[in-house]
């Protein structure tokens, strides 16, 4: 049994999100949520924790007749993909401009037992 939850167009760069995703990949759900709660320096950790909780809730609603133990659930895979980019510009000297790229990401979490 497995369940998937996705968050799209998250206003964080994929590079920063992958740093947090690599920490919890393959861990048990309880341990992963504890690690995400303790990583207070990374803002994206709260969004990944929400996605993991959503995947667990999806599993519980999909398999409501079977009792699901949270201690047995494991994060099977967590994928961070690039999302759309917002292109902005900043004025520079002598009437020129330089580009700013504001990146977004998509995060997909699969939970299985």
Q: How confident is the model at residue 98 (pLDDT cuts 50, 70, 90)?
A: very high
Range of the domain at 28: 2-112
pLDDT at residue 75, as a whole number: 96
Looking up residue 65, the CATH number of its domain turns out to be 3.90.470.10
Domain total of the chain: 1
Instruction: Dump pLDDT digits (tens) for 15-44.
Output: 999 999 999 999 999 999 999 999 989 999
Q: Which two tokens stand for residue 32?
A: 């992963």
Q: Are 57 and 68 in contact (CB under 8 A)?
A: no
Confidence of residue 65 (pLDDT cuts 50, 70, 90): confident
Rounded to whole angstroms, the Cα distance separating 39 from 20 reads 8
On the 0-12 / 13-18 / 19+ scale of CB atoms within 10 A, 71 is exposed
* pLDDT at residue 57, rounded to an integer: 92
The average pLDDT across 87-91 equals: 97
Give the SS3 label for residue 60: helix
Average pLDDT of the segment spanning 81-94: 97
């Amino acid at each position: 049994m497995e369940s998937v939850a996705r968050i799209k167009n998250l206003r964080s760069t994929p590079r920063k999100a992958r740093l947090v995703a690599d920490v919890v990949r393959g861990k048990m759900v309880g341990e992963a949520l504890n690690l995400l709660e303790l990583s207070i320096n990374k803002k994206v950790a709260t969004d990944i924790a929400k996605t993991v909780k959503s995947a667990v809730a999806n599993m519980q609603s999909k398999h409501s007749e079977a009792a699901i133990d949270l201690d047995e659930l494991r994060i099977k895979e967590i994928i961070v993909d690039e999302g759309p980019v917002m292109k902005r510009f900043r004025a520079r000297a002598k009437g020129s401009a330089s580009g700013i790229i504001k990146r977004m990401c998509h995060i997909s979490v699969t939970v299985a037992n």
